[in-house]
């Protein structure tokens, strides 16, 4: 069975600090990888995704993530966070074909202080 681990449950940063959120997954086959964000009072939005190809993917709002297959990791990064990045971030994995239910990590709450 697939599983996803997010190591940081709560992160507090000051504006302009760099961000890295860890995500590791467990699955024996080919996977799709995602980071979703949920801003306060809003619904889940896709930040970025990895299907295949270049393991360094860029998403919206300056976020990027790197897929390291040997480590089963898909860490999210942003060089300089803003107050508006305050949100909950979810890493998710799915199979690569067919029935592609998302298996989510437990989420990381990011608070950026101005």
Partner 1 sequence: GAGVSQSPSNKVTEKGKDVELRCDPISGHTALYWYRQSLGQGLEFLIYFQGNSAPDKSGLPSDRFSAERTGGSVSTLTIQRTQQEDSAVYLCASSPYTGTAYEQYFGPGTRLTVT
* Residues near partner 1 (CB under 8 A): 32, 34, 36, 42-46, 49, 51-52, 90, 92, 96-107
In whole angstroms, the minimum distance from the beta carbon of 55 to partner 1 comes to 15
Cβ(105)–Cβ(5) below 8 Å? yes
SS3 65: strand
Which residue number, 84 or 100, has a Cβ lying nearer to partner 1? Answer: 100
In whole angstroms, the minimum distance from the beta carbon of 80 to partner 1 comes to 26
In whole angstroms, the minimum distance from the beta carbon of 30 to partner 1 comes to 9
Which residue number, 101 or 114, has a Cβ lying nearer to partner 1? Answer: 101
The torsion defined by the Cα of 20, 102, 2 and 77, in degrees rounded to 10, comes to -10
Closest CA to 52 of 32, 36, 74: 32
Which residue number, 42 or 70, has a Cβ lying nearer to partner 1? Answer: 42
Quote the tokens at residue 101: 């239910």
Quote the tokens at residue 104: 């989510």
The gap from C-alpha 95 to its chain's centroid, in whole angstroms, comes to: 16
In whole angstroms, the minimum distance from the beta carbon of 44 to partner 1 comes to 4
Which residue number, 52 or 70, has a Cβ lying nearer to partner 1? Answer: 52
């Amino acid at each position: 069975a697939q599983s996803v681990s997010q190591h940081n449950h709560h992160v507090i940063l000051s504006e302009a600090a760099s961000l890295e959120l860890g995500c590791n997954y467990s699955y024996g086959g080919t996977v799709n990888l995602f980071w979703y964000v949920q801003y306060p009072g809003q619904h889940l939005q896709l930040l970025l995704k990895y299907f295949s190809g270049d393991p360094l993917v860029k998403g919206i709002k300056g976020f990027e993530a790197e897929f390291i297959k040997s480590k089963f990791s898909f860490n999210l990064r942003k060089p300089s966070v803003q107050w508006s990045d305050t949100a909950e971030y979810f890493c998710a994995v799915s199979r690569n074909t067919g029935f592609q239910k998302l298996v989510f990590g437990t989420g990381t709450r990011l608070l950026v202080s101005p």
